Structure 1
Amino acid sequence: MIPASIRRSLGIGPGCQLEFHLEGNVIRAEVKRRMTPTRAEDGFGMLVCERPGTRRLAEFDVATAMREANADDRD
């Protein structure tokens, strides 16, 4: 586990990519990519449903939507 104080000082959070190197008896970790914090409203408008009626997110199936989008692209 990386101590919280080190994670904060390096900006390491969930989703960050680290690369590890073994140098003798020492493990060196390098931050390869930091994740930018996002807010729920940053995703507004990303999901579009053209079907009539009221829809809820709980009814949304990503796999089905992707298959339908791919089928539409082939037509």
Structure 2
Amino acid sequence: MSTVTVSDKGQVVIPAAIRHRLGIEPGTKLDFELEGDCIRVRPRRAIKRTRPEDGYGMLRCDQPGERRLDDFDVAEAMRETGDDRP
């Protein structure tokens, strides 16, 4: 456990080992939550927004003819490839 001192402005320095382990860099937003007489601090992870076209090419179908996403059965494709990861 590390001990730090609160400044006159209410600021603290997060120890380097903790910053590195959690990936806290300048500009990282932190969420503070009061739990009884303790403070829980969590880095807020940004959710990267994606567009439908970002997924282009992820699914491949070797069958001839025009195919639609509705025709694709993920479970069947996994059985065919032997990929049983969740």
Question: Normalised by the size of structure 1, how large is the TM-score?
Answer: 0.53
Match of 1:30 in 2: 42
Match of 1:56 in 2: 68
Q: Which amino acid aligns with 2:81?
A: A
How far did residue 26 of structure 1 move? 6.4
How far did residue 28 of structure 1 move? 3.8
> Unpaired segments of 5 or more residues in structure 1?
1-9, 11-17
How far did residue 48 of structure 1 move? 0.6
How far did residue 54 of structure 1 move? 1.3
Whole-Å separation in 2 of the counterparts to 1:57 and 1:27? 47
Instruction: Specify which structure has the bigger relative contact order, considering alpha-carbon pairs within 8 angstroms and separated by 6 or more residues.
Output: 1
Match of 1:44 in 2: 56
How far did residue 27 of structure 1 move? 6.7
**CA offsets per residue over residues 16-69 of structure 1, 9 Å max, x none?**
xx8x96632567462453221111111111111001111111111111011111
> Unpaired segments of 5 or more residues in structure 2?
1-28
Whole-Å separation in 1 of the counterparts to 2:64 and 2:34? 57
Q: How many matched pairs?
A: 54
Q: Alpha carbon RMSD of aligned pairs, Å? A: 2.9
User: Which structure shows the bigger proportion of residues in strand conformation?
Assistant: 1
Secondary structure of 1:68 counterpart? helix
Whole-Å separation in 2 of the counterparts to 1:60 and 1:23? 46
Structure with higher Rg: it is 2
